[in-house]
Structure formats: C-alpha cells, structure tokens
Amino acid sequence: MLQHVRLGHVHHSMIKQMVSRKLVNGIQLVDPEAVPKVCHSCVYGKQHCASFPSPTNKIRAQKPGNFFHNDLSGKMPIDSLGRSYYYILLKDDHSKYRLIFFSAHKSL
C-alpha cells in the first residue's frame, strides 16, 4: 500500500509489472499474489456527484412580464462609483431578461 501511494496511486498490477521488468529499484513485494487493500483516496477520487433531477412539472410564465424573480444584495463592503452599496436584480421568467438597479440604501 505504501508503494501505491508513493508512486502516485498507480494500479497494483502496474507496480507488479514495474518490479518484474526491473524498472524500479528498492521495491520488494512481500506477496505478489496477495489481494491489495482498498485505497480510500482512489475510491473517493473515482466517485462523482449526481446532479439534482430537474422537475418535470415546472411551470413557466406564458408571457413576458407575468412573473419576475428578484434578488436584493448588499451591503457591499466598498461603495460603487455612484455611492451605491446595494443592488436589486429583476429577472423576467419568460424571456430571461434582467434588470439591475443600484441603491445607496436598502429601502429604495
């Protein structure tokens, strides 16, 4: 297992091959026929995250302007050139058109 980690997580059969072809010095396999231990780092690296399933019954606006998503963000640590610390983002659900409004105060 130590050789596996030190050689960059190479597959155990490759380590056996390198030893048999004398491509490496100083590695001696105790039992070449032994089943190698599970390397948790290799298992973790081969896992992948499944994405969230997209809802099939998602209702969208039929016409522009019917439904807006909004987001208020701030207080920013540094003011903008117009002395604004906050912004409001509006997104039309149908057309995906976005508007942004800047404000110096949280209440417009």
Per residue in 20-79, pLDDT (tens digit) is 888 888 877 777 677 777 888 887 777 777 877 777 667 788 899 888 999 998 888 888
Nearest to 61 by CA among 98, 99, 95: 95
Note the pTM of the prediction, 2 decimals: 0.45
Position 98 confidence tier, pLDDT thresholds 50, 70, 90: very high
33 versus 80: the higher-pLDDT residue is 80
Burial label for 91, CB within 10 Å (0-12, 13-18, 19+), is middle
Please determine, for residue 4, whether its predicted confidence score (pLDDT) is greater than 80.
no
Mean pLDDT of 81-88: 89
